[in-house]
A and B are shown apart, each in its own frame.
Chain A
Amino acid sequence: MATVMELVKESEVQWVGQPLKRKEDPRLITGLGKFVDDVKLPGLAFASILRSPYASAKIKRVDVSRAEKAPGVICTLTGSDVSKLTDPFLQISSAPANKVKDYCLAVDKVHFVGEPVAAVVAETRAEAEDAMELIEVDYEPEEHVLDARKALEKDAPLVHEQVGSNLVFHGKWDYGDIEDAIRKADRVVNAKLHFHRFSSTPIENNGVVVNYDRATGFLNIYCNNQMPMFCIPWLSFGLKFPSNKIRMITGDIGGGFGTKIISYPYIALICLLSMKAKRPVKWTEDRREHMFANHGNERSFDVEVPVKKDGTILGFKVSAFDDCGAYTRYEPAGATIWAQVSPGVYHFPNLKVDFFQVMTNKAPVGPNRGYSRMQHLWMIERTVDIIAKELGLDPADVRLKNYVRSDEMPYVTPSGGIYDGGDYSESLRKAMKLIDYDGLREEQARARKSGKLIGIGIATAVDSGTNNFGQVKIITDDNPFSGNSEAARVSIDGLGQFQVGLGTVPQGQGHETFAAQIVADEFGINPDQITVLSGFDSAINPYSHQSGSYASRSAVMGTGALLGATKKLKEKVAMIAAHLMKTLPENISFSEGNVVDKQTGKKMPIWQIANVAWVNNVLLPEGMEPGLVALNFWRPNFTLPDEKWRLNQTLTYSYQTHIAAIELDPESGKFKILRYVIVDDCGTQINPMIVEGQVHGAAAHGIGAAMFEEFNYDENGQLNSNTFIDYLVPSAVEIPHLITGHLEIPSLFAPKGIRGVGEGGGTPLGAISNAVEDALAPFGLQITDSHQNPQHIHKLIREKISKLNQVR
């Protein structure tokens, strides 16, 4: 492997901005990564979970007697056990939706196909699965509801009877005067849109190993939850177990994308099983289980947009119906999170959103790359193209006319978001140049003459990062969360070696690399000289209870915390150095592993100072405590929502413009991507190679969702796409060559001008649905769904042709 020194030989190098190879990769690509399923403990037993075959049913009887006698079985657990041993998990809904009773196993009733009903622990996983088949459950099927709008109807079956309604949350955001804008408009554009259900399918599923240590009373939890410290209140209150004896440990994690935030019911279940079995217990979710219970939000929209003839957008009036499935879990946070990017990239003063979040008898949702914003952004980007078409304008021109301008930055959105810099127009112009937009339009015109359908689709999305938890106070003031925080610890040991610990919980993002780059610059040393702890262990790593990797926050929050820690550490080193070198601390600078007296040019290696700090400590300045360890907690300046729910919901606002060119086969409805361009701006790039990887990954996810991935239910609430045979994840064959360009306009507010990157705002969903509609322009068809299934496109074309034939 090329070392960082080969890359850059100059001594006064800035490590931030270098495309360093990742510190993590040698272990990951040689099979030495340690994932939760690699955890092996003496006496380890294995759990298997029995799941509901019904979308809605009363549980009349659960009989585990045969299962308990099966070979290798240690114990079983049912919903009735769980209801005695635990309290329902905390809810962040307001009344009455907070009456949802969420346990780690279904109690009395199942609410979706795949809901855990009972569990078995055995000596092997195979024995546990064999025994699971011997559990007898009598169900009494009940009426179910699978559609959010239908779930709001008066006589709809109730997902949770005690709530009295399927409505989780109804919020009204109303800024400016949309009715006045509608009166004054040249035209009002209407659309009914649907954003489909999919998820991220990380290569590693959920997993938990719990070792309940009866000697110390500790619950030692090995897992791959991506915000483990945030789980603690859920586990502690649910299990009625003291938080100071819950230890959370993660190792390498094979991707999370948000889906690993709401794994606390599984963690709680395995805790109970370990306590009951008096053994360490492992549960590794299999792919089918993952498919049944890890989905992203589905949402439909009624949209009205007043516009001027020249394409000026005056506002958006939207009713949104969000389907969160059978349990709320992280919801209804998502019912407020879309408002991070309330106007998308556009400048319009009038915005009214009526937001309904609704429960149905489908799998519960959780955060998923682009969480809640991508649905909203897709709706806006789809609508902008509909506007362009209705007005006979080029969609690029409509965008350029309505983008927030760079000279308006920092731009305050109607809902109080403070966009932290950037140039959306420049990003579109750059993307148009990269894809040769004008040339493509000519090619499209030529192709149409010969009956070929080429489509071009643009989308620009804001990729907000580093959330302000204060947004959940929109739901209820009782929610005890606000702001955001992260912890870092930087130490120099007695031999002068650097070690860094972070509270972030990496899932493949390269935190060991970026943290080393940040710290290396501060001390004028090489990132190779810095060891960053891998994984997370609440008994070893520093943390805040908002630690974790989610909301594109780790680079920004980690850097904030690291810079605070390095500042403290440098101050102490400088004080010791000044004392030893008989100068003043302010004269001390750091270079190539030495401290330097700027006035005399005299040097002293850091290891000598470390030696004094730890073990030669009689030489320390009088009264100074020994050791070189700096711990820092950092939080951005956030506020709470005002009476109109205005607040800055995130610290950074990256953005991306995507342009897709496709060719569509009108006979089959299938299409292929001809060219795909992305221009992103995440401000200062700590490591451009990691940024490029994130941009590619987010694009692949979005393209997959737009073209292939869909959680599809039948009318009985059975999940059709429950394996990779039907849930189609794109491979390298399906993902086109991605042509990328970057802007690097620094964040006005975040440390070092860094913005979070990685979610991508679901931009491909907009670009591709716009491209498909553009390809179908000769038929005058409208695309109203975020998922492009060839058979649906084919149906649209056939219906249009038969309509045209009737007219003739």
Chain B
Amino acid sequence: MTPKKFDYYSPTSINEAIQLLHDNEDSKVLAGGQSLLALMKLRLAAPSALVDISKLQEMSYVREDKDYLGIGALTIHDIIEHNQTIKKKFTLLTDAASKIGDQQIRNVGTIGGSSCHADPAADLPTALSAVNAHFVIRSGKGQRIVPATEFFVDLFQTAVGHDEVLSEIRLPYLPPRSGSGYIKHSRREGDFAIVGTGVVLTMGDGNVCKDIRIALGAVSATPLRAKSAEEYLKGKTLDDKNIADAAEIANEGADPPSDMHGSKEYRMEMIKVFTRRTVKLAMSRVM
């Protein structure tokens, strides 16, 4: 379990990092390293060079803009978990970050790293899809902003190009009377999800669902939006029956993998159970 030989660079600025990536063909960005290094030790990944951006402390922050909450890509899970603004405005991210791995992993793993690694069973990509986060991608030519729906392209594949760096994740503020939640169904705390469900919803008058986004993890190559269930609930009263009916169709379009912790059939069922529970959790948090 020793990685193959690789070159190591420790740039002092994001621009230098982008240049190094440009100059080194098979290079990879190293952030917290909690997935990449394990893959390298197993020799499932063998980049020729690592561009270690973890020392760029200016990329670790949570800032309140007028329209969105900006999170620096190098912000570690532990900070996400304990940040009070995030907890107040995007509770599902608190839920998700608190269940990643263990404390040691949360102390070094970053939101940008987790997003760019794009493991469909990871927690933050699912939660960020429910939020419909926007991803700021920097390159030598400047920066572009990509919504979650376009950011996660395929299994372990994102919109970030080889000589680009994800610099910030923007969470558009939610309207009043919104709530959110994320539930991971896993065998132990901190395991990869068997099914992860993230919900962001906004209520109108009474218990009517004005808007809702439901994102599912570990059931497709990328985080999957449960569009049918979302559409079903919009404009309807969020009562037990409607939520249960929506949950029944939440697995439309899902194509989960089978493994020793969850067969495809089991995951298809769990989507329903945990969609229902997560919608209720999000409702309970509407302010």
Contact = CB atoms under 8 A, between A and B. Distances in A.
A721 B273 contact: no
Interface residues of A, number: 31
B270 interface: yes
A660 to B, nearest CB: 17
Contacts of A791: 194, 261-263, 266
Given A731-B102, A733-B189, A790-B187, A721 B260 contact: yes
A276 interface: no
Nearest to A71: B5
Interface in A779-808: 789-791, 794-795, 798
A728 B269 contact: no
B287 interface: no
A66 to B, nearest CB: 16
A287 B190 CA distance: 19
A725 B188 contact: no
Contacts of B194: 791
B124 to A, nearest CB: 17
A288 B266 contact: no
Interface in A717-764: 720-721, 723, 725-726, 728, 730-731, 733-734
A734 B186 CA distance: 12
Contacts of B269: 794, 798
B211 interface: no
Nearest to B262: A791
Given A668-B273, A789-B261, A130 B5 contact: yes
A288 B42 contact: yes
B187 A733 contact: no
A728 B188 contact: yes
A721 B102 CA distance: 20
Contact of A731 (B188, B260, B270): B188
A791 B262 CA distance: 6
Contacts of B261: 726, 789, 791
Contacts of B3: 126
Contacts of A728: 187-188, 191
Interface in B177-213: 185, 187-192, 194
Contact of B1 (A133, A288, A733, A798): A288
A712 interface: yes
B259 interface: yes
Nearest to B276: A667
A101 interface: no
Given A287-B1, A668-B185, A790-B187, A726 B270 contact: no
A129 interface: yes
Contacts of A129: 2, 43
Nearest to B3: A126
B4 interface: yes
A125 interface: yes
Binding site secondary structure of chain A: loop
Given A708-B187, A790-B187, A720 B259 contact: yes
Given A668-B273, A731-B102, A125 B2 contact: yes
A390 interface: no
A733 B188 contact: yes
B4 A130 contact: yes
A286 interface: yes
Interface in B129-154: none
Nearest to B263: A791
A130 to B, nearest CB: 7
A680 interface: no
A723 B42 CA distance: 10
Contact of A720 (B2, B5, B188, B260): B260
B2 A712 contact: no
Nearest to B277: A667
A722 to B, nearest CB: 10
Contact of B188 (A708, A721, A794, A798): A708
Contacts of A130: 4-5
B188 A726 contact: no
Interface string A20-63: 00000000000000000000000000000000000000000000
A710 interface: yes
B80 to A, nearest CB: 19
A726 B273 contact: no
Nearest to B274: A668
Contacts of A794: 266, 269
Given A667-B273, A668-B185, A731-B188, A726 B2 contact: no
B259 A726 contact: yes
Contacts of A731: 102, 188-190
Complex A-B, nearest 8 residue pairs according to Cβ-Cβ distance, in ascending order: A286-B1, A791-B266, A126-B2, A712-B260, A667-B273, A733-B189, A129-B2, A720-B260
Given A288-B1, A712-B260, 13 more contacts: A288-B42, A667-B273, A668-B270, A668-B274, A708-B188, A726-B261, A728-B188, A730-B188, A731-B102, A734-B188, A789-B187, A790-B187, A791-B266
Interface of A: 125-126, 129-130, 133, 286-288, 667-668, 670, 707-708, 710, 712, 720-721, 723, 725-726, 728, 730-731, 733-734, 789-791, 794-795, 798
15 contacts: A133-B43, A668-B185, A707-B187, A720-B260, A721-B260, A723-B42, A725-B192, A728-B188, A731-B102, A731-B189, A731-B190, A789-B260, A794-B266, A794-B269, A795-B266
